[in-house]
Amino acid sequence: SFSSSLFHLRSMETVVSVVLPAAGTGERMNIATPKQFCEVQGKPLVFHTIEAFLAYNWISDIVVVCAPNQLSAMDCKLRASNLYPKVKLVVGGTTRHRSIYNGIVHMKQHPPDIVVIHDAVRPLVPAKVLEQVVHEAKLHGGAGPVVPLVSTVVKMTSKGFLQESLDRSKYAASETPQAFRYPLLLEAYESCTEEDFDCGTECLALLLKYCGVQAKLVPGSDELFKVTYSRDLYAASGMLKSS
């Protein structure tokens, strides 16, 4: 382990940028407003996530990737909050991977050393996890937090019957923030097939598939809370109030 002050000294010569994919439609919520734009504690959820990263002065910039129909509203809110130029707005794609790709391509003119990918719907970004994934990405090329599986995972047949039950001790749930050496992640995305773009969701898997880089997995945290369903907005509100 290393101290935060040491980390700040080291990170000064490392340019770290963030991509927040926020173009999702939130189909699991069954509400008109995508979850990242739902109001929590007086502001859209994504703004809590942006502010969580702005709290770290060693983060150089944040690219928010937004659906075309949300761009103008998001632009107005960013202007009103005085978040330009540190926060940048980029139009998203039809899938998570396409949106992330748009975000990292936007960084090509001024490429960072490390790029952090984080779900816009995870409003808390604990320092310990963020510093650790950036540190490990510098060393190994990529890193991300994992947490133990809460439920048993089963494999189903196409007709909806149980095929097998997986050994929970061998698997973990992947979370964000994930960190990558920028040139590696760009190379991985530039190698993607249409199938990768349409069906995949895991950036660490692309790094392994196209760059042969095994990401370092670090322990996650309870604070890496993801808003998935409407009821989660109440929990997020409580966690943000107490943080």
Question: Which structure tokens are listed for 86?
Answer: 């540190």
In one letter, which amino acid is 17?
A: S
What does the pLDDT read at residue 1? 47
SS3 66: strand
What does the pLDDT read at residue 225? 82
What does the pLDDT read at residue 214? 97
* pLDDT lower than 50: segments of the chain: 1, 9, 29
Q: Are 140 and 215 in contact (CB under 8 A)?
A: yes
- Can you tell me which residue has the tokens 């699991």? 28
Give the span between the Cα atoms of 7 and 12, in whole angstroms.
Answer: 9
In one letter, which amino acid is 6?
A: L
Is the pTM higher than 0.85? yes
Q: Are 90 and 66 in contact (CB under 8 A)?
A: yes
What ranges do the domains of the chain cover?
Answer: 4-242
Q: Are 145 and 175 in contact (CB under 8 A)?
A: yes
User: Domain 4-242 has what CATH class?
Assistant: alpha beta
Q: Are 57 and 69 in contact (CB under 8 A)?
A: no
Which of 78, 80, 61, 81 minimizes the C-alpha distance to 70?
78
What does the pLDDT read at residue 8? 60
Condensed to tens digits (0 to 9), the pLDDT of residues 38-87 reads 877 888 899 999 999 999 999 999 999 999 999 998 999 999 999 999 99
Strands (E), 67-192: 87-91, 114-117, 142-148, 154-156, 162-165, 172-174, 178-181
End-to-end CA distance of the chain: 24
